[in-house]
Amino acid sequence: MLKEVKCTKFHDDDFVESKHGVVKEEPLSIFVNGRHFVTTMISPQMKKEFVIGHLFSEGIIRDVEELESLQIEESIANVIISSPLKVLTAKKLIVSGCGGGTSFLDESKLPEVSSDLKIDAYEVFEAVKSISGSDLHRITGGVHVVGLFNRGGRICISEDIGRHNALDKVIGYGLTENIDFEDTFVACTGRISSEMALKCSVANIPVVASRGATTSLAIEIAEKTGLCIIGFVRGERMNVYTNGKRIAATMPHPE
């Protein structure tokens, strides 16, 4: 995940030869039923989870059962899904993904989040706090962190150069581990964009919270799907933008 590189630092009116840790970025090409589906730039860990999560959020598979085969060799992931010649011609929607570019999610067919989950405000604070302390994040300043939680605590944390990739990784993990997403919530480091909101809604994850901001389109989508978006979770403050019924004002922290 981390690579030490040479760099020249400008310091005290002068250039100094130095070193710095940067986050690894590599291409991964996904072939579905022998056809090139997408090439994304990702951080090279949890590749399997990424592929599964990505195919799921793009609507290519509905569950892991539909994934007949997955072989990953370095920068190529070969996937076979149940129907060998299923043609991939879903309607493309351009979103603001910083690594992905295109998405096959169809905004006119938004999913509906079906969940009774209610969580307490301090659980949101705890979750966001727990993903903010990553070493890699601290050293490189170049990764996003996404965590999948339930009321019992942390299920899985992933790091990636892209927020969307990191979210796909935790979704992929949840699918392979047979996690019921309706009982979970997501905490992340970056902006909650429309694509983040869509991915959570498709997976039936009812709450997404971030230290960062959100966008107008993400809020529009969340209003339609029933997703609860929480932004600017800092210290003991937060902005709840949609579906606030899922968050109870319960404080203080149990410790």
Partner 1 sequence: MDVERIRADFPILESIIYMDSAATSLTPEPVLEAALEYYREYKANVGRGVHRLARITSQKYNDAHRKVAEFICAEGSGLIFTKNTTEAINMIASGLKWKKGDRVVTTLVEHHSNFLPWLRLKEKGVIQELDIVKPNQEGLLEAPDFEDAIDDRTRLVAVTHISNVLGTISPIKELSAICTENNTLLLVDGAQSAPHIGIDVGELGCDFFAFSGHKMLGPTGTGVLWVKDLEGIEPSFFGGGMIEDVSQDNYKLAVGYERFEAGTPNIAGGIGLGRAVDYLNEAGMAELKSHESKLTRKLLEGLSAIENVHVYGSTNLKDRIGVVSFNIEGVNPHDVALMLDEASDIMVRSGHHCCMPLLKYLGLKEGTVRASLYLYNTEEEVDKFLETVEEITGVV
What are the φ/ψ torsions at residue 235 (nearest 5 degrees)?
60, -120
- CA 2/CA 7 separation, integer angstroms: 15
Contact region with partner 1 (CB under 8 A), list: 32-40, 50-58, 135-143, 230-238:
32-40
Distance CA 246, CA 240 (A): 10
Assess whether 98 carries a catalytic annotation: yes
Contact letters (x/-) for partner 1, 84-123, by CB under 8 A? xx--------------------------------------
**Span between the terminal Cα atoms of the chain, in Å:** 34
CA pair distance 196, 165, nearest whole angstrom: 10
Closer to partner 1 by CB, 4 or 74: give it: 74
Q: Which is nearer to partner 1, 71 or 102 (by Cβ)?
A: 71
The tokens describing 219, both together, are 């809020």
What is each CA distance from 160 to 19, 47, 49, 164, 169, in whole angstroms?
Answer: 22, 11, 12, 9, 9
Binding part of the chain for partner 1, among 65-73, 117-125, 169-177, 213-221 by CB under 8 A, reads 65-73
State the nearest-atom distance from the C-beta of 73 to partner 1, in Å: 11
Of 31 and 122, nearer to partner 1 (C-beta) is: 31
Q: How many CA atoms, within 13 angstroms, populate the side-chain half-sphere of residue 204?
A: 13
Backbone angles phi, psi at 63, to 5 degrees: -155, 175
* Residue 169 beta carbon to partner 1: minimum distance, rounded to whole angstroms: 23
Shortest separation between residue 83's beta carbon and partner 1, angstroms: 9
Residue 31 CB, nearest approach to partner 1 (Å):
6
**Residue 68 or 112 having the CB closest to partner 1:** 68
Stretch that binds partner 1, among 53-61, 67-75, 103-111, 147-155 (CB under 8 A): 67-75
Q: Which is nearer to partner 1, 27 or 141 (CB)?
A: 27
Do 28 and 39 meet the contact criterion of CB atoms below 8 Å apart?
yes
- Find the binder of partner 1 among 8, 69, 89, 114 (CB under 8 A): 69
45 binds partner 1 (CB under 8 A): no
Question: Which residues make Cβ contacts (< 8 Å) with residue 213, sequence separation at least 6?
Answer: 191, 192, 231, 232
Q: Across-strand partners of 108?
A: none
Query: Annotated catalytic residue: which of 7, 98, 156, 188?
Result: 98
Catalytic residues: 98
> Which residues of the shown chain bind partner 1 in the complex (CB under 8 A)?
31, 33-35, 68-69, 71, 78, 80, 84-85
